[in-house]
Chain A
Amino acid sequence: MAILEVEHICKSFEKTEVLKDISFSLEEGQVLSIIGSSGSGKTTLLRCLNFLERPDSGVIRVCGETLYDSRNPSPMQESEIRKKRLHFGLVFQSFNLFPQYTALENVMLAKELLAREQPDYKARKKEIQGEIRTLAEEFLRQMGLSDRMGSYPHQLSGGQCQRVAIARALALKPDILCFDEPTSALDPELTGEVLRVMKELADQKTTMIIVTHEMAFARDVASHVIFMDDGYILEQGTPKQVFEHSHEERTRQFLSRFTQG
């Protein structure tokens, strides 16, 4: 069964239609890359999945559970949305680390706040915090940041910041980890180190949706590629189908610089 099913998502801002009838599905352990020019709706799509925007219509299901159905919008309480968001993690283009916390604290914060809702939190406070800390350190180590755990975001390079942000998202163990142009704010060298950890995550069968302009990465790492244009999914399939045997003229045009180069 697909871990994520998206059906007929539409979204408009004022009179601009940004998403037009978006449908796709994703299997567990797969990597979906969404490519397309700026303004084609990729970021909005990710924001809808993370409930930062509410779709005008459509259905979103994760592991068979309906998270959003525009025909039945009643259970959209703030606290409900909060729970639903936890199915997804989101890594932002601009990192959005919390500047007043160290790398380690950034990774621990949300998990700690969630733990406070457990009934036995008060009794086992020390123990729970210890577990969260160990887990956070483990994720940062996995991101190659064992020696930067006590650093504040402004003391880290962009690449290091983005890896902290990835660890922060992973710490909540989301079903699906989303990336919104994670390397667009980085120079080529730093881009490399971020893509490397993302590749490792893909190898470990982390389910991911990656909005990216890194075509080589999309082709090599993704199991599935979606090409978006003007709010539509114009083309989707395996990287081979999309990159080498595209049906649409627009896709070929978009990819031309990459495939020729």
Chain B
Amino acid sequence: MELILEQMPIVIQSLNVGFLQTLKLFFVTLLGAVPLGLIIAFGSMSRFRPLGYLTKVVVWIIRGTPLMIQLLIIYYFPGLVFGKPIWGGGEAGRFVAASVSFIFNYACYFSEIYRGGIQSVPVGQEEAGLVLGMTRSQIFFKITLLQMIKRIVPPMSNEIITLVKDTSLARIIALQEIIWAGQAFMKGSQGISGAIWPMFFTAIYYLIFSGVLTVLLGRLEKKLDYFR
């Protein structure tokens, strides 16, 4: 017990650094995947058939294979096959590769949620906009978008909470996120080895963060309660 108390500051310091990387990956993914998902959603709804099919195949592949495989392929493929490691070395390179994989993977999931949200807005809303002389983009941004957002908050919350925990998959390419940081004390780091308890601590970080997100997303849902 005394030993643990002694090691605590070192471990917390290290986990904090790891969690910062986790947070960075989380927010970068969200920032990229939210808009990219919308573009993919429009692609899959396109009236230009080939584009629609192409998008659907891509979404099928991305959703149909493990994110971990995608991470490995995206990170190692350029270097191993073309001899050109495009991501650069070190932690920065791993972070870029992880971000690209996560953004693309999550955008595909988001796109399906968006598509469902858009298609659940009654067609009468669009027709009302059309007979009032609005353009299609005005109809989307002024009428459809907010109604879609209201409908997709619950499923998006689900995905966002999943993303918090999925960031740990980046461990597979040795991104120094919080699991990597915790695991280091099992193998031996900064004079501490064979310690499992830092691993349990990482779980607390995830719990607190997903708790905060749950509250925030719940508030957003309430905020959109002013219309039906």
Hey, which bits of chain A sit against chain B, CB under 8 A?
50-52, 78-79, 82-83, 85-86, 88-90, 92, 94, 96-100, 109-110, 113-114, 152-154, 168-169, 172
Task: Kindly specify which of B87-95, B108-116, B142-150, B205-213 makes contact with the partner chain.
Answer: B142-150
Q: Which single residue of chain B is at the shortest CB-CB distance from A79?
A: B135
Question: CA–CA, A109 to B147, complex, Å?
Answer: 16
Chain A CB within 8 A of B200 CB = no
Task: Kindly specify which of B49-57, B124-132, B187-195 makes contact with the partner chain.
Answer: B124-132
- B contact patch SS: helix
Contact A52 B131 (CB under 8 A): yes
Contact A86 B133 (CB under 8 A): yes
Hey, which bits of chain B sit against chain A, CB under 8 A?
122, 124-125, 127-136, 138, 142-143, 146-147, 150, 226-228
CB distance from B79 to the nearest CB of A (A): 48
Question: CA–CA, A221 to B228, complex, Å?
Answer: 35
Question: CA–CA, A109 to B138, complex, Å?
Answer: 10
CB distance from A209 to the nearest CB of B (A): 13
- A contact patch SS: mixed
**Partner among B127, B134, B142, B150 whose Cβ is within 8 Å of the Cβ of A96:** B127
Question: CA–CA, A97 to B143, complex, Å?
Answer: 10
Question: CA–CA, A153 to B128, complex, Å?
Answer: 14
Contact A90 B143 (CB under 8 A): no
| 22 A–B pairs (Cβ distance < 8 Å), ordered by A | A50-B131, A52-B127, A52-B130, A78-B136, A82-B130, A82-B133, A83-B133, A85-B130, A90-B131, A92-B128, A96-B128, A97-B128, A98-B128, A99-B228, A100-B146, A110-B132, A113-B133, A114-B133, A152-B228, A154-B227, A169-B131, A172-B132
Question: CA–CA, A51 to B134, complex, Å?
Answer: 13
CB distance from B98 to the nearest CB of A (A): 37
